Structure 1
Amino acid sequence: MGPESKSFQTGLSEPTFDDLKRRLVDLVEPLNDAQLLELADGIHDMLRQRRSVRRRHAERMDERTRHLAELGH
C-alpha cells in the first residue's frame, strides 16, 4: 500500500513516540506469547479498519469528483 495522504496523518512527535514505544515494551514484557500475539492482532485489526475507512472515503470523493466533472462543474 502506498503512503497515506498527509490529511490523514496525525500522531505524536518523534521524541514522544519513542517514549511511548519504550513504555509499551515495558508494559508488554510480562505477557506470554499468546497474550502478546492477541494484543498485536487487535492492533492490526484496528489498522485494517482505519485503512478500509480511508479507502472508502477516497473512493467516494473520487466518484463525487468524476460526477461533478461529468456535469460540467
Structure 2
Amino acid sequence: MTNETKTFQTGLSEAGFATLKSKLVDLVEPLNDGQLLELADGIHDMLRQRRMLRQHHAERMNERARHNLDLRI
C-alpha cells in the first residue's frame, strides 16, 4: 500500500482502522469468491472515482491560478 501525501486528516485513526479491518474480514468471510470479487470491484471503482475527482479539482485550481496571475511588475 502506498502512502499518499495528505494535506489534511481524513478517515479513521490507526486503531479505528484496525478495528474496522478486523470486523470487515469477519463480515466478508462467508461470501463466495464471486461475491467477494464484486465487492472488491465496487471498492476499487469508488477509489478510481475519488482519484479522478481529486485530479479534476487540482487541474481546475491550476487552470484558475494561471488565469488569475498578474505578471505585471
TM-score, length basis structure 1: 0.87
CA gap 1:52/1:4 in 2 versus in 1, 3 angstroms: farther
Whole-angstrom CA distance in 1 between matches of 2:21 and 2:50: 21
Summarize deviations over 1:15-63 as a string: whole Å, max 9, x none: 0100000000000000000000000000000000000000000000000
The structure with more helix, counted as a fraction of residues? 1
- After superposing on structure 2, the runs of 4+ consecutive aligned residues of structure 1 that deviate more than 2 Å are 1-5
> 1:6: how far off?
1.6
Q: How many residues align?
A: 70
* Structure 2: 5+ residue stretches without partners: none
Name the Cα RMSD after superposition: 1.9
Identity value in percent:
66
What is the letter of the counterpart of residue 19 of structure 2? Answer: D
* Structure 1: 5+ residue stretches without partners: none
CA gap 1:14/1:50 in 2 versus in 1, 3 angstroms: same
Instruction: Give the secondary-structure state (helix, strand or coil) at the position aligned to 1:6.
Output: coil
Q: Where does residue 57 of structure 2 map in the other structure? A: 57
What is the letter of the counterpart of residue 57 of structure 2? Answer: H
Q: Which structure 2 residues correspond to residues 1-73 of structure 1 after superposition, within 5 A?
A: 3-7=4-8, 9-69=9-69, 72=70
